[in-house]
Amino acid sequence: MFEELAVLLAAAFSLGWIAVHLKRRQIIRRLARLDNVQPDIAVSNTTVSVILPVRNEARNIERFLSSVRSQRGLSVEVIVVDDGSTDGTYEALLKHAGDGLVVVKSSHPPEGWMGKSWACHLGYTRSKGEWLLFTDADAVFSPETIVKAVTLAKQTSVDVLTLVPRFRMPSILHKITMPLLLTGLYLLARLDKIAESKSAFVFGTFILIRRESYEKIGGHKSVRSAILEDRALAYLAHSKGLKAEIALALNHLTASWNEDSRSFWNGMQRLFVPLFLNSENRKAAFYVSLGMISTIAYLVVTIFGNTALALTCYVFPSIVLGLEAKRHRSSFLYGMFWPIALVVLLTALYTSLIKAKWRPAITWRGRRYLLRRGESHEMAVLICSEK
């Protein structure tokens, strides 16, 4: 009986991963590609205001400034707003002030404002560009990233354009977990539906938005209390009828989703706790349950099935996730560690679920916040600063 069950579960498990691979490939193939965009000389008179909120980014700021100052094909002004850094970030910025770089020291955020949203708002008030680009300090641009992005945005007549970066994976936890996390993102966020206005999502590394469109939706003031301000901004833009587009930019933009294992774990908590605060996110609950069912199915096959069945179930996800790792220039072999990735991801999900139900507190960028549900997005209240 158990042997027959193991055979059925092995078949379902393997077919499920084949379906995941085919769906992911379909989604990626439907995305626009920045590689295919030729810079339009007509955008040479366009001014883009690059707005960067920073907090303790001394290790990244020099590399970021070097890449953003290498942009060609249009006019770029750079506004960096320091949000209470204590690691020398502000002092490093002052050395580069002038020559197209505006450095702003953020005051303590007003009541009800998150520090990052307040910094973005301050950057906006100092900007002059007809396009605004909100980005992160870990972003690295190729010389034509921005001009190609503006060209694509104008060609498609969109209000908002976001880019899919190539993710650098600095820690072993990144290398093992990110392929599974990104694959789940493709399926949950349905990036291919963004251009059809059937989905809302942006990568915080690159949010390019028309100035008048940003002002139309109220800018960061409208999402001032959100811990996931980029996600809240995407949903707000979608609800207000703004047209959005997403493009693959693996050869033009790189980013690091947190810099070490600890910040990576905190980043997952920051991502998942707000998700579970939203009672309408049944799809997320479905995928959490699916992950647990898959784990149990694999264990049943391993324990009660033969070696061939267990090996088959191991190989399929290894290949699927190895391909995702390779897409981001990591080793294909990291796909083989998918059981560890699954355990890490499920632990983060269930920990976040418990936090959301009992005490939704998270730590982010040296600050601890208490979250609560809002009408359209989560609302964060600062509890304390750790540094």
Q: What is 212-246 written as a DSSP string?
A: HHHHHTTGGGGGTT-SSHHHHHHHHHHHTT--EEE
pLDDT of residue 364: 82
Closest CA to 27 of 210, 199, 143: 199
Strand blocks (E) in the chain: 32-33, 47-54, 75-82, 101-105, 131-135, 140-141, 160-164, 166-168, 206-210, 244-248, 253-256, 361-364, 367-372, 379-385
pLDDT of residue 312: 86
Euclidean distance between CA atoms 153 and 327, whole angstroms? 25
How is residue 300 written in tokens? 């049943």
Closest CA to 21 of 327, 298, 261: 327
Between the CA of residue 351 and those of 138, 179, 223, 356, 362, what are the distances in Å?
A: 27, 20, 26, 9, 11
Domains and CATH numbers, the chain: 2-26+263-368 (no CATH), 31-165+203-259 (3.90.550.10)
pLDDT of residue 279: 56
Question: Which of the 8 DSSP states describes residue 108?
Answer: P
pLDDT, averaged in runs of 10, over the chain (387 residues): 74 89 96 95 93 94 95 95 92 87 89 92 96 97 98 97 96 95 91 88 96 97 94 94 96 92 90 77 64 74 76 92 97 96 90 86 85 82 72
For 141-160, how does the pLDDT look when each residue is reduced to its tens digit (9 = 90+)?
999 999 999 999 999 999 99
For 203-233, how does the pLDDT look when each residue is reduced to its tens digit (9 = 90+)?
999 999 999 999 999 999 999 999 999 999 9
Mean pLDDT of the chain: 90
Q: For residue 148, what are the contacts with CB-CB under 8 A and spacing of at least 6?
A: 34, 37, 38, 39, 252
pLDDT of residue 60: 94
**Tokens 């909100």 appear where?**
134
pLDDT of residue 386: 61
Rg value, the chain, Cα: 22
How is residue 260 written in tokens? 């070490």
For 93-141, how does the pLDDT look when each residue is reduced to its tens digit (9 = 90+)?
998 887 789 999 987 889 889 999 999 999 999 999 999 999 999 999 9
Closest CA to 137 of 55, 74, 220: 55
Taking the model in full, what pTM does it have?
Answer: 0.93
pLDDT of residue 285: 66
